[in-house]
């Protein structure tokens, strides 16, 4: 009989019990289990089959005003009976920290009950034969090019569950599934170059994943559109970012919007709550209650009840992520300690229409390296994409960087699309920025 | 499964640990050499002591794993204990321990891999996993070894005095307090100091279908210093870190002074720093951390898995002259206490030195057993995995370039107008197109052959083979970076190190801002 949620609930509760018996005033236990299966095909051979179940127990301990966290995959009862008291003893060796307290019950009471719909029976029932068939369908479509060198495709599924319990009465659990199909394609380009492209589509539910042949064809198209790529120009011009690439910029923007970064003074949002941090085109909502979302949840890692959290409304910074610890340090009420699903409402046009509006500039299809300073917002990213010519994606370009400051960049946001990328926790639409600095070939 | 298969390199921003002195390549010892003793019977108790199992359990797992045949099959046992501390506002904000153990079972037939793992170290669980992994094969059973015979290590490159499991948090806290105080003392503008520490004890045991049994203990430690300073209403932060396969005896005031000085100096210079002009220009890479260039521009492209699949830009370039005569690039697992050092790789092959290119000519890829068999060559000891949950791939260890004939001063003077790159946060490469990037956190503008003003936060982008051709000068000041790097590939991360002398790349595309 495979382990189920009941077993995980019992394990979490037992860990809390062992911890309090060993002298912890408070304890929070989480028991998890995940089964995953991956199949990978390269060209005409089955290259990899991997199947596994992983289990773990994590424990957060509050002992005499001191705090520590622990995790183990060695779940043998005898091991736990020594691991947990040792963890409590280690905690006693730390210093007191007046900001550390277990999540107060009022933060986890009255959790929402919206149906999140995170479990797909169809994902649980995928057979080995189906995986192989899907790989073959994808690889056939992905190889349909005269310049093909190699295509690698894969199907992976995951079923996860966890249960959490605390010494002050919290009890909660969650179960979810996911499936990913996709692959990458390498073509023979000009000279020594071998341009590559990839496409992966995934969801909590099998029926949300498009047809396998279409996925393979899209991976191929991603590689084929790189053929003939040249070094892009050094210029200041409009930047249109495709939905698939736009999530990267939103993650960078939101990265320092949390109480930990505020408390360590490493956030360019410090002192800007209630102020404009972007053009009024930008609204960003953290949405943990989105049906079928990869990061949907009724409570966060600290047990805090979920709610829709507007981070940015019409360009104004309204909220940041606040966990209980750093919230106490900087005197802010907790919101939630971590990001769930991010949505960007308000767009009325899709990529093609926004390209037409832009007329000329650079279309970014993917990033390569680069970084951003969370304290100042200064950034520089490598990119690939296309020249925008006559309002359409034209010649492919690469070996370019875009450089600037995130706050300045988002103040130059002139449009968001209505075309969010569905295969991510960041549902990013097309983003259009004006007057952006690109570096490439000498003018 | 990863969504993007792009390869990246970064300073891991999650927990951390310790320090090393600037290590010059010439001074790098090769650890304590031990005689290779092959075929000694495995001591009965090593299975029990390390993993609480018996030799018979391992043999049963191997038999199940090879029941449909195999070109190669092994059980990879791993026990890893990680201790992490976040030190914030003068106290420990969080201390964590993580115990991870399990066994990965791999069955290889040609280029095909069947893989499964279990965290439950019982015969039943291992046999069940073995059946899953064996399903890739369609042949007849291989005769399982009658006895596992222990192979002694060919070299010991990271012996420590006291294993980390025996070092209490009471010995680590004074080190962190001292480091935080040192950083604060350096400049009154420092407003925040945050330290991330981690230390790792790892035991690995590999038992293969030929009866070979290999054991390795792998320590790792790292200290990561984050600093924020405030001056004239402006804030800047920066980091420095030191990492090595060392024990606590390694961390003294000298090491703490070095890493805190680096963090503070790199932060304070940002107040004066600006962006260079945008576009193509000569780039001088300062010795040490600039080894990131080798990792991205050539290293990944020389990992044999991409080449046997034909997906690397270097797939048909072995034996070709690709760079100036003075360019010799090595990937080495035998450098004592380096973060990338390996006594044995994760397939049980001895750690070794692999010359990727010599005299400007490409020599050898980095191989795991699958690619070595594909090319009909010996494995290079480059088969690595993140953990028992992951399959083996060819990976870099410590990648560096030998010294060249020039001096640093000569190189800067020869540039005219360009930039000098000094510290980095991350890099990335596309193996097929050959385009790679790295991000410069600190550097200098070069005008008229002289360093004129500091620069910051710019990405550099180039093409691997083109860059090799454009390395026109290299100095005699090679050293390894003392900071710890983590390399990601196909969703797996492994620790690596790198180094380089000061070199000139005659033209690269520099992120920057034009008026």
pLDDT computed for residue A442 by the predictor: 79
Look at strands B450-463 and B503-510 and give their pairing.
Answer: antiparallel
Q: Is residue B158 a contact partner of residue B341, using CB atoms and an 8 Å limit?
A: yes
* Statement to judge: residues B243 and B334 lie in one domain: no
Same domain for B265 and B374, yes or no, is no
Q: Give the end-to-end CA distance of chain A in Å, rounded to a whole number.
A: 68
**Which of these three, B272, B293, B324, is where a domain ends?**
B272
pLDDT-derived band at A73 (thresholds 50, 70, 90) equals very high
For residue B68, list chain A residues with Cβ-Cβ distance below 8 A: none
The nearest alpha carbon in chain A to B11 belongs to A371
pLDDT of A250 higher than 70: yes
Q: Which of B272, B288, B305 is the last residue of a domain?
A: B272
Task: Give me the DSSP letters along A161-218.
Answer: EEEEEETTS-EEEEEEEEEEEEEEEEE--STT---EEEEEEEESSGGGS--HHHHHHH
Where helices occur in A255-401 by DSSP H, the ranges are 259-263, 324-330, 351-358
Subunit contact B513:A404, Cβ cutoff 8 A: yes
DSSP state of A283: -
CATH architecture of A5-224: 2-Layer Sandwich (3.30)
Residue A65 has pLDDT above 50, yes or no: yes
CA B220, chain centre distance (Å): 12
Q: How far apart are CA B321 and CA B316, in angstroms?
A: 12
Interface predicted TM-score (ipTM) of this complex, two decimals? 0.93
State phi, psi for A378 to the nearest 5 degrees: -65, 135
On chain B, the residues whose CB falls within 8 A of the CB of A329 are 89
- The predicted pLDDT at position B359 comes to 97
Token pair listed for A95: 């210093």
In this structure, how many other beta carbons lie within 10 angstroms of the beta carbon of residue B189?
Answer: 18
B1, part of any domain: no
Across A150-159, A185-194, A303-312, least confident range:
A185-194
Query: Residue B27: inside a domain, yes or no?
Result: no
Helix, coil or strand: residue A299: strand
> Which position has the higher pLDDT, B207 or B310?
B207
Reduce the DSSP state of residue A398 to 3 states and report it: strand
For residue B156, give how far its alpha carbon lies from the nearest alpha carbon of chain A (Å): 29
Do residue B432 and residue A195 have CB atoms under 8 angstroms apart?
A: yes
Rounded to 10°, the helix B44-51/B55-65 angle is: 90
Token pair for residue A381? Answer: 């990213």
Does A90 contact B514 at a Cβ distance shorter than 8 Å?
Answer: no
When pLDDT is averaged across residues B343-350 and rounded to a whole number, the result is 96
B24 pLDDT higher than 80: no
What residues 348-377 of chain B have any CB closer than 8 A to a CB of chain A? none
Other CB atoms closer than 10 Å to residue A428's CB: what's the count?
A: 26
Q: Which residue of B has its CA nearest to A260?
A: B88
Mean pLDDT within B274-300: 96
CA B351 to chain centre: 14
Q: Do A83 and B99 touch (CB under 8 A)?
A: yes
Nearest CB to B275; choose among A194, A202, A403: A403
Cα–Cα distance between A334 and A371 in angstroms, integer? Answer: 29
Q: What is the pLDDT of residue B18?
A: 19
B33 within some domain: no
DSSP B295-355: IIIIIGGGBHHHHHTT-STTTT-TT-B-S-TT--EEEES-STT-TT--SB-TTSPBP-EEE
Residue B236 lies in a domain: yes
Q: How many residues does chain B have?
A: 515
For position B218, which CATH number holds? 3.30.2290.10
Structure tokens at B85: 């501390």
B62 and B116 inside one domain: yes
Mean pLDDT of B165-186: 95
Region of B172 please: left (phi>0), alpha (psi -120 to 50) or beta.
alpha
One domain for residues B391 and B256: no
Cβ burial, residue B110 (10 Å; 0-12/13-18/19+): middle
Q: Does A236 touch chain B (CB under 8 A)?
A: yes
pLDDT the model gives residue B46: 83
CA separation (Å) from B90 to A89, B84, B193?
22, 16, 8
Confidence of residue B296 (pLDDT cuts 50, 70, 90): very high
Q: Is residue B32 part of a domain?
A: no
B296 CB-near residues (< 8 Å, 6+ apart): B9, B427, B428, B429, B436, B437, B438, B464
Looking up tokens 């320090």 gives B19
Contact call for A380 and B4, based on CB within 8 A: no
Flag whether pLDDT at A264 surpasses 90: yes
Give yes or no: residues B263 and B285 share one domain.
Answer: no
Instruction: Determine contact, residues A277/A283, Cβ cutoff 8 Å.
Output: no
What are the boundaries of each domain within chain A? 5-224, 229-443
The CA distance from A242 to A366, in Å, is 8
CB contact under 8 A, B97 and A68: yes
Is residue B31 over pLDDT 70? no
Domain boundary (B208, B240, B272) is at B272
> What's the pLDDT score for residue B15?
27
> B263 and B311 share a domain?
no
**Which of the four pLDDT bands, split at 50, 70 and 90, describes residue B22?**
very low
- Which residues in chain B (138-197) have CB-CB distances under 8 A to chain A? 168-170, 173, 191-192, 194
Domain match, B247 and B297 both: no
What pLDDT, on a 0 to 100 scale, did the predictor assign at position B13? 32
Give the number of C-alpha atoms closer than 13 A to the C-alpha of residue B377, restricted to the C-beta side: 15
Q: Assess whether B339 and B407 both reside in one domain.
A: yes
Give residue B40's pLDDT. Answer: 53
Q: Which residues contact A52 (CB under 8 A, 6 or more apart)?
A: A35, A36, B116, B117, B118, B129, B389
CA distance A372 to B80: 33
| Residue B350, min C-alpha distance to chain A (Å) | 26
Asked, for residue B50, whether it belongs to a domain, the answer is yes
Based on the domain organization, do B115 and B219 belong to the same domain?
yes
Under DSSP, is residue A358 helix (H, G, I), strand (E, B) or coil?
helix
d(CA B225, CA B197): 9
Rounded to a whole number of angstroms, the distance from the CA of B491 to the nearest CA of chain A is 13
Is pLDDT at B39 greater than 90 in this prediction? no
The pLDDT assigned to B11 comes to 44
Q: Distances from the Cα of B321 to the Cαs of A30, B324, B359, in angstroms?
A: 57, 8, 8
Per-residue pLDDT reduced to its tens digit, A418-435? 999 999 999 999 999 999
pLDDT tens per residue, range B117-132: 999 999 999 999 999 9
DSSP string for B185-254: HH-TTEEEEEEEEEEEEEEEEEEETTSEEEEEEEEEEEEEEEEEEEETTEEEEEEEEEEES--GGG--HH
Identify all chain B residues contacting A149, using CB atoms and an 8 Å cutoff.
Answer: 310-311, 432
C-alpha closest to that of A245 among A402, A47, A11, A58: A402
Q: What does the alpha-carbon distance between residue B62 and residue B44 come to, in Å, rounded to a whole number?
A: 17
Cβ-nearest to A368 among B101, B235, B437: B437
The DSSP result for A114-164, as a single string, is -------HHHHT--HHHHHHHHHHHHHHHT-STTEEEEEEEEEEEEEEEEE
- Adjacent-strand bridge partners of A389: A392
Most A CBs within 10 Å: which of B11, B283, B321, B459, as the mutation test of the A interface?
B459
The predicted structure's pLDDT at residue A261:
98
Chain A CB contacts of B433 below 8 Å = 189, 193-196, 226, 229, 398
> Is residue B301 situated within a structural domain?
yes
H/E stretch holding A7 reads helix A5-21
Question: pLDDT band at B3, cuts 50/70/90?
Answer: very low
Q: Give yes or no for A407 touching B (CB within 8 A).
A: no
State pTM to two decimals.
0.93
Give CA angle at B183 (B179, B189), nearest 5°. 160
Number of CB pairs, chain A paired with chain B, less than 8 A apart: 272
Residue B342 counted as domain residue: yes
Please indicate, yes or no, whether residues B266 and B287 belong to a single structural domain of this protein. Answer: no
Q: What is the dihedral of CA B44, B46, B49, B55, to 10 degrees?
A: -60
Query: How far lies A302's CA from each of A27, A385, B143, B508, in Å?
Result: 12, 41, 52, 47
Contact across the interface for B96 and A75, Cβ inside 8 Å: no
Instruction: Give pLDDT, residue B14.
Output: 29
- Name the residue of chain A whose CA is nearest to B177's CA: A95
Beta pairing, strands B492-500 & B398-401: parallel
Q: Does B459 touch chain A (CB under 8 A)?
A: yes
B321-337 mean pLDDT: 97
Work out the average pLDDT over A389-413.
Answer: 97
Token pair for residue A336?
């939630």
Is 70 exceeded by the pLDDT of residue A359? yes
- Which of A374, A403, A441 is closest, CB to CB, to B512? A403
Number of domains chain B contains: 2
* 8 A C-beta contact, residue A227 and residue A405: no
Report residue A120 as tokens.
């797909």
A72:B425 CB<8 A = no
Do B141 and B218 share a domain, yes or no?
Answer: yes
Is A226 near chain B, with CB under 8 Å?
yes
Q: What is the residue range of B255's domain?
A: 7-22+38-272
Interface of A with B in 320-379 (CB under 8 A): 325, 329, 368-376, 378-379
Whether residue B338 sits in one domain with residue B258: no
Among B194, B237, B278, beta carbon nearest to A403? B278
Tell whether A255 is within 8 A of chain B (Cβ). no
Of A94, A192, A376, the CB nearest to B169: A94
pLDDT band for B49, please (50, 70, 90 cuts).
confident
């Amino acid at each position: 009989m495979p382990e189920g949620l009941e077993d995980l609930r019992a394990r979490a509760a037992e860990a809390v019990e062992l911890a309090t018996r060993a002298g912890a005033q408070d304890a929070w236990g989480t028991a998890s289990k995940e089964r995953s299966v991956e199949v990978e095909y390269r060209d005409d051979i089955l290259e990899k089959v991997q199947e596994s179940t992983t289990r773990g127990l994590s424990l957060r301990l509050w002992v005499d005003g001191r705090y520590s966290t622990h995790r183990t995959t060695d779940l043998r009862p005898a091991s736990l009976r020594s691991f947990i008291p040792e963890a409590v003893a280690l905690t006693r060796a730390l210093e007191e920290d007046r900001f550390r307290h277990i999540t107060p019950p009022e933060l986890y009471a009255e959790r929402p009950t919206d149906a999140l719909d995170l479990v797909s029976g169809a994902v649980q029932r995928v057979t080995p034969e189906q995986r192989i068939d899907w790989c073959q369908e994808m690889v056939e479509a992905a190889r349909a090019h005269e310049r093909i060198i190699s295509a690698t495709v894969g199907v992976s599924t995951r079923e996860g569950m966890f249960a959490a319990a605390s010494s002050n009465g919290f009890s909660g659990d969650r179960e979810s599934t996911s499936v990913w199909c996709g692959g990458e394609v390498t073509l023979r380009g000009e000279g020594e170059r071998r341009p590559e492209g990839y496409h992966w589509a995934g969801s909590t539910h099998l029926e949300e994943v498009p047809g396998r042949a279409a996925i393979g064809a899209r991976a191929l198209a991603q590689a084929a559109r790189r053929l003939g790529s040249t070094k892009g120009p050094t210029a200041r011009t409009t930047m249109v970012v495709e939905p698939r690439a736009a999530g990267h910029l939103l993650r960078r923007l939101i990265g320092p919007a949390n109480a930990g970064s505020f408390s360590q003074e490493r956030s360019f949002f410090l002192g800007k709550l209630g102020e404009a941090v972007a053009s009024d085109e930008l609204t960003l909502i953290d949405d943990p209650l989105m049906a079928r979302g990869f990061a949907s949840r009724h409570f966060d890692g600290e047990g805090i009840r979920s709610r829709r959290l507007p981070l940015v409304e019409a360009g104004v910074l309204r909220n940041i992520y606040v966990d209980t610890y750093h919230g106490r340090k900087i005197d802010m009420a907790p919101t939630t300690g971590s990001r769930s699903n991010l949505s960007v409402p308000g767009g009325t046009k899709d990529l093609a229409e926004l390209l037409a509006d832009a007329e000329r500039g650079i279309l970014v299809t993917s990033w390569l390296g680069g970084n951003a300073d969370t304290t100042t917002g200064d950034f520089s990213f490598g990119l690939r994409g296309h020249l925008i010519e006559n309002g359409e994606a034209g010649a492919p370009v690469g070996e370019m960087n875009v450089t600037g400051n995130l706050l300045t960049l988002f103040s130059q946001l002139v449009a968001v699309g209505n075309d969010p990328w569905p295969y991510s926790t960041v549902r990013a639409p097309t983003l259009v920025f004006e007057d952006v600095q690109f570096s490439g070939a000498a003018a | 499964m990863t969504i993007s298969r792009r390869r990246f390199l970064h300073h891991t921003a999650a927990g951390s640990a310790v320090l090393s002195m600037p290590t010059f390549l010439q001074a790098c010892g090769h650890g304590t050499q031990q005689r290779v003793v092959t075929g000694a019977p495995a001591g009965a108790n090593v299975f029990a002591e390390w993993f609480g199992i018996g030799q018979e359990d391992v043999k049963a797992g191997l038999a199940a794993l090879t029941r449909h045949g195999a070109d190669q099959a092994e059980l990879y046992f791993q026990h890893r204990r990680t201790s992490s501390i976040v030190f914030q506002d003068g106290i420990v904000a969080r201390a964590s321990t993580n115990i991870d153990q399990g066994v990965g079972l791999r069955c290889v037939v040609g280029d095909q891999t069947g893989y499964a793992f279990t965290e439950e170290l019982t015969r039943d669980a291992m046999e069940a996993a073995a059946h899953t992994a064996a399903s890739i094969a369609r042949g007849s059973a291989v005769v399982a070894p009658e006895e596992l015979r222990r192979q002694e290590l060919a070299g010991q490159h990271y012996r420590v005095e006291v294993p980390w499991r025996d070092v209490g948090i009471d010995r680590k806290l004074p080190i962190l307090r001292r480091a935080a105080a040192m950083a604060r003392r350096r400049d009154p503008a420092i407003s925040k100091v945050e330290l991330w520490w981690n230390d790792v004890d790892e035991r690995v045991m590999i038992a293969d279908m030929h009866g070979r049994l290999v054991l390795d203990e792998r320590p790792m430690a790292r200290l990561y210093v984050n600093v924020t300073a405030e001056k004239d209403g402006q804030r800047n932060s920066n980091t420095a870190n030191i990492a090595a396969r060392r024990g606590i005896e390694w961390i003294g005031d000298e090491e703490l002074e070095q890493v805190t000085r680096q963090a503070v100096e790199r932060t304070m210079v940002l107040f004066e720093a600006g962006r260079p002009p945008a576009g193509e220009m000569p780039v001088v890479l300062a010795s040490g951390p600039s080894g990131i260039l080798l990792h991205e521009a050539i290293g990944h492209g020389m990992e044999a898995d991409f080449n046997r699949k034909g997906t690397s830009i270097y797939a048909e370039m072995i034996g070709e002259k690709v760079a100036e005569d003075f360019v010799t690039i090595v990937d080495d697992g035998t450098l004592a206490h380096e973060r990338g050092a390996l006594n044995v790789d994760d397939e049980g092959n001895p750690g070794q030195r692999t010359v990727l290119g010599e005299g400007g000519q490409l020599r050898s890829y980095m191989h795991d057993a699958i690619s070595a068999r594909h090319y009909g060559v010996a494995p290079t000891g480059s088969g690595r995995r993140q953990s028992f949950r992951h399959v083996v791939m060819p990976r870099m260890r410590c990648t560096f370039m030998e010294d060249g004939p020039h001096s640093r001063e000569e190189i800067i003077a020869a540039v005219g107008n360009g930039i000098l790159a000094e510290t980095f946060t991350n890099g990335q490469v596309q193996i097929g197109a050959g385009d790679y990037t790295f991000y410069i956190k600190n550097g200098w503008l070069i005008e008229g052959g002289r360093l004129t003003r500091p620069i910051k936060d710019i990405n550099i982008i180039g093409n691997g083979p083109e860059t090799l051709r454009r390395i026109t000068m290299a100095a005699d000041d090679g050293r390894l970076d003392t900071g710890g790097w983590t390399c990601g590939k196909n969703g797996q991360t492994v620790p690596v190190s790198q180094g380089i002398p000061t070199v000139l790349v005659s033209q690269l595309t520099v992120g920057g801002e034009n008026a």
